[in-house]
Amino acid sequence: MSPGPTFDRVYLALKEQLMCGRFAPGDHLEPVVIGEELHSSITPVRDALHRLVGERLVEAPRNDGFRVPFPTEAELRDLYGWNRELAELGLRHPAAKTSPSLSTDLEAVTGGTEIADVAALLFRRVARRSANPELEFAVEAVSDRLAAMRHVEARTFEDASEEIESLCALFANGQIVELRRSVIAYHKRRQRAVPGLLVAARHRRDRD
């Protein structure tokens, strides 16, 4: 592995770029180009890409370079379904405490670019209700993998900001039964919209 400070800097910067949707699904990731942009030699970049492969944020098909994953419809539906199942596990815990302070995080939701972050925060807080760190780790992992698509959601659903705000308000107010129903509806909506979401992601890739 490459020296720690350089590797950490490159890894965190590249992961942030992937999660914010800078790269479109299917894009090839060239270590040399990335190294030039991040002012790094190629070794830390390759090490970071390999770690991101392990996190399933990057693919290395047949060891033929690196690329951003482009999920099939079935794979994306399964990913949304897995996030819903994790959220339902968190909401089952009877002794959990909600967090009214979550409502203050909604002030950052003004357009679309921050919605992915608020969704990740909400589902992480839901998982934390269970007092099981493994559930929170699992939610963080799936949120990382869904982050770029959540930016596509924000451009696709006109009411995306209001939708996540409603979920957060239910959580902050401790309305767990209603939140459970809304979480199921939230994910079913996305699963139904999977074809359109992938078209939107592909359109961006082709346009760029």
Nearest to 152 by CA among 186, 188, 197: 197
**Overall average pLDDT of the 83-94 stretch:** 91
How many angstroms separate the CA atoms of 83 and 103, rounded?
Answer: 21
Rounded to the nearest 5°, which phi and psi values hold at 22? -60, -40
- According to the model, what pLDDT value does residue 99 have? 56
Q: Give 168-192 pLDDT, tens digit per residue.
A: 999 988 899 999 999 999 999 999 9
1 pLDDT more than 50: no
Mean pLDDT on 71-99: 87
Going by the DSSP 8-state scheme, the letter that residue 67 receives in this structure is E
What pLDDT sits at residue 105?
55
Task: Determine the pLDDT at residue 63.
Answer: 74
104-132: per-residue pLDDT in tens? 555 554 444 478 889 999 999 999 988 89
Q: What is the mean pLDDT of the chain?
A: 87
Query: What's the whole-number mean pLDDT along residues 76-84?
Result: 98
Task: Give residue 52's pLDDT.
Answer: 97
Q: What span, in angstroms and rounded, lies between the C-alpha atoms of 51 and 60?
A: 11
**DSSP class per residue in 109-122:** -SSSTTHHHHHHHH
- Which pLDDT tens digit goes with each residue over 135-169? 999 999 999 999 999 999 988 999 998 999 899 99
Reply yes or no on whether the pLDDT at 25 is more than 70. Answer: yes
Q: Bridge-partner residues for 67, per DSSP?
A: 28, 59
Position 204 scores a pLDDT of 61
Which pTM value belongs to this model? 0.86
Percentage of the residues of the chain whose pLDDT score is greater than 90: 66
Judge whether 91 and 166 are in contact, CB under 8 Å.
no
Could you tell me which residues come within 8 angstroms of residue 122 by beta carbon, excluding any fewer than 6 positions away?
A: 102, 164, 167, 168, 171
Domains of the chain: 4-67 (1.10.10.10), 73-207 (1.20.120.530)
